[in-house]
Structure 1
Amino acid sequence: MVKIVVLGAGVVAPAIVYDLADDEVSPHVDEIVVADISEEKARLAVEGAKRFTKRKKLDYARVDVRNVNETAELLRGADVVVNGIIYYYIPQVMEAALKAGVHYTDLGSEVPILKKQFEFDEAYRRAGLLAIPGMGGCPGMINVAARYGVEQLDEVERVLLREGWVDFNDYDSLGIPLPVPYSLDCILDEYMHPVEVWEDGRIKLVDPVRPEDREVIHFPPPVGTQELYYIEHPEVWTIGETFKHKGLRYVDYKLSYPRELYMKYKLLTDLGLTNDKPVRVGNVEIVPRDLLKMLVNETFKGKEIPPNDYDIMRVIVEGKKDGRRERITIDLHTEWNRKWGLTAQAVTVGTPTSITAQWMAKGLIKERGVKNPEEVIDPVPFFEELKKRGIRIHVQREFLI
């Protein structure tokens, strides 16, 4: 019996739950529990997932992950917990998983929180448990692709992480002035927080989404030519540390936003509307971010937004093989999922998490403690699982002068 608990029922949760429930791609899962502070959201995720299974037991519950004992009680008897809650509460969920004796994985966070996660390493090893932080799309799938490229070379100089994403919906006609491709809190944090660039064995901080760091990259259709900017992503640090023994000296990450969407989020950030500190307006104290989130959520109420996007994650690895300089480029293509009715953004995050949780539950990953994705996920069988879910992988090798 394989039982997996998914915490969180937000934007990405359906992709995790649908993948786990789908008898065609996940035949070895027997029981799934979805829990959220909103029991109604958890129920909706479960109801949607029931379409894809004829035999699995699906249930939902309410949980407040700030209460470690309550969360641990919910997790008892499960094999793995997938933490899809906003990363602010990752330490509490890791403590609850340790108390409940279940393996742990999540969708990613930021470097300071990730460092706190590694403080659990010894306790997890003693308990015979495995925790894999950041096992979504990026971080997660992109880390595994980076490992694949690194393993093809004798020495590695640079790893460049790039992501090109396009959404073909006309949001203006839908009355939605600010599209939200994934967690709004995550997006707002990415526009505010300093960005890590890993260089010569240490982190260098730069400001996010600076116009001077704009990079134009030509992706295959339908993504095409995109403008990319530095965005905070913790895999820059982990990949640098994991592979520095091969001579690695530089890692960075850039993401594309449609130009208009980029300008909207930058304007909100520059105006201070993404801040989470109270400000006084007349006789009232208001948290700008809370107000912004409420107004944005109102624009989505009662509207069905059809999935219509496409994502390409690209890893560029440069180094040497047999004394010759080479560049290896790995592209991971994800189109919105017609069977599940989910966006490419959700699928790129949710399916790698589901695959990993299943491998952990079935004992296919033997390591214990807290491990980065690139340390414990074997790329080739992982790519085969991605292909079953419609994610296509293209690899190109070229010699450098």
Structure 2
Amino acid sequence: MARIINQVAVFGLGKVGELVADLLGESGFKVVGYDAAARPDLRFETKLLDVQDAEGLRESLRGVDAVVSCLPFHLNIAVAEAAYDAHVHYFDLTEDVPTTNRVIELAADRPGAAFAPQCGLAPGLIGIIGASIAKTFDDIRSIELKVGALPQNPTGLLGYAINWSPEGVVNEYLNDCEVLRQGHRQMVPAMTEKERVFIGGIELEAALTSGGLGTMCETYEGSVHRLDYKTLRYPGHFDQMHFLFDELNLRDERELVGRMLVDSKPPVNDDVVYIHAAVEGRKNGHPFRENHVRAYKPLDISGRTWRAISWTTAASAVSVVELVADGVLPSTGFIKQEDITLEALFSTQAGRHFAEQGQV
């Protein structure tokens, strides 16, 4: 069967966008990349674009079937609205709730194209894993989802490195978190409900952070007693962040904190992405808990070594594009990450990396 998506525009050719474009090319798509800075060194066609130029943004979507936005979250709404006007399929990596709410509105108003935000790690892959496990249970008591993007060899009290967007890190630490408690949606403070977690003998700590569940609370409200998302860090990290935000009174200085973190904890090349999903309930009539635990490390793709956070995010996003293109997922309307099966993701060219890597 012929694909419904053949040519894809990728906006933002940074840490993840460049690899998204490369993986799309490996999966058989024709790709054109757009960035604010010239990138003539890449293996695919690139063009300059200021996404705040509304006319230029819409012109860039002429002749393509889909767009994947790898831009900072605050630029995604403009891209989604341009995709809406151009009648092209839309994908992004956002964890920002207002952005996703706007995408949901656009999908409802014009169901002729697929709108699939939140295609990264969390929300994204972790929700696909949790929902796929949940489908095997007779009834579900809890779904606990955790992700951590960390240095393999941490130093200092924070034990951290900014390998991802500093804006995103600060937002997930400060914005309230949506959870299910007693089957009902609630908003609770971030960086609370800390717990110890061990993965492959490594001790970590986890605390609630915002944005990682996407639309899952709405999906599972009334059918799951407890649902939450937590970020994994090395022990002591969240105490230090509470000191920074609360004792130093920097909660209202998000941009400053982001700059401080990048300056003091710059990116590293030896990172690791920890995935921990657990579902409790009854299976085959008996109480049961099923865990899905992985540790993804840097990976060689097309002759280049990519950080774990980059390839896991990019591969997850490209897998969703493949599934829509091949008719496995709907080609119209809003697509929830929890409606995607892990088996389907593993079957894609990009998703095979998850099936082959990460054993603990």
Question: TM-score, normalised to structure 2's length?
Answer: 0.86
One-letter amino acid of the counterpart of residue 128, structure 2: V
Which whole-Å CA distance do the structure 1 matches of 2:154 and 2:220 have between them? Answer: 42
**Is 1:378 matched with 2:341?**
yes
Which whole-Å CA distance do the structure 1 matches of 2:358 and 2:160 have between them? Answer: 32
**Is 1:269 matched with 2:255?**
no
Deviation, structure 1 residue 364? 3.5
**Is 1:148 matched with 2:129?**
no
Q: Report the equivalent of 2:217.
A: 240
SS in 2 for 1:338: strand
Give structure 1 stretches of 5+ with no counterpart.
51-56, 276-287, 396-401
Match of 2:45 among 45, 50, 58: 58
Q: Report the equivalent of 1:9.
A: 13
**Is 1:350 matched with 2:311?**
no
Query: Aligned pair in 2 of structure 1 residues 115, 220: CA closer, same or farther (>3 Å)?
Result: same
**Is 1:35 matched with 2:34?**
yes
Deviation per CA, 1:129-188, whole angstroms, max 9, x where unpaired? Answer: 01112111111111111221111112222110012443135677xxx9973121000111
Which whole-Å CA distance do the structure 2 matches of 1:73 and 1:364 have between them? Answer: 29
Which whole-Å CA distance do the structure 2 matches of 1:360 and 1:257 have between them? Answer: 34
Match of 2:232 among 256, 266, 277: 256
Query: Aligned pair in 2 of structure 1 residues 91, 114: CA closer, same or farther (>3 Å)?
Result: same
Query: Aligned pair in 2 of structure 1 residues 319, 312: CA closer, same or farther (>3 Å)?
Result: same
Q: Report the equivalent of 1:53.
A: none
Q: Report the equivalent of 2:282.
A: 320
Query: Aligned pair in 2 of structure 1 residues 342, 272: CA closer, same or farther (>3 Å)?
Result: farther
Which whole-Å CA distance do the structure 1 matches of 2:204 and 2:110 have between them? Answer: 42
Q: Percent identity?
A: 21
Give structure 2 stretches of 5+ with no counterpart.
none
Query: Aligned pair in 2 of structure 1 residues 367, 390: CA closer, same or farther (>3 Å)?
Result: closer
Aligned pairs for 1:286-301 within 5 A: 288-294=253-259
Count of residues in Structure 1 that have an aligned counterpart in Structure 2:
351
Q: Report the equivalent of 1:227.
A: 205
Structure 2 contact 297–358 (Cα < 8 Å) conserved? no
Deviation per CA, 1:33-63, whole angstroms, max 9, x where unpaired? Answer: 2223x224xx1xx63x52xxxxxx4223222
Deviation per CA, 1:336-355, whole angstroms, max 9, x where unpaired? Answer: 11343221112221110011
Structure 1 contact 201–240 (Cα < 8 Å) conserved? no
Q: Report the equivalent of 2:163.
A: 181
Structure 2 contact 151–161 (Cα < 8 Å) conserved? no
Which whole-Å CA distance do the structure 1 matches of 2:291 and 2:264 have between them? Answer: 39
One-letter amino acid of the counterpart of residue 39, structure 1: A
Deviation, structure 1 residue 198? 1.8
Structure 2 contact 119–320 (Cα < 8 Å) conserved? yes
**Segment of structure 1 superposing worse, 11-20 or 366-375:** 11-20
Greater C-alpha Rg: 1
Question: TM-score, normalised to structure 1's length?
Answer: 0.78
One-letter amino acid of the counterpart of residue 46, structure 2: D
Structure 2 contact 124–337 (Cα < 8 Å) conserved? yes
Q: Report the equivalent of 1:109.
A: 95
**Is 1:331 matched with 2:293?**
yes
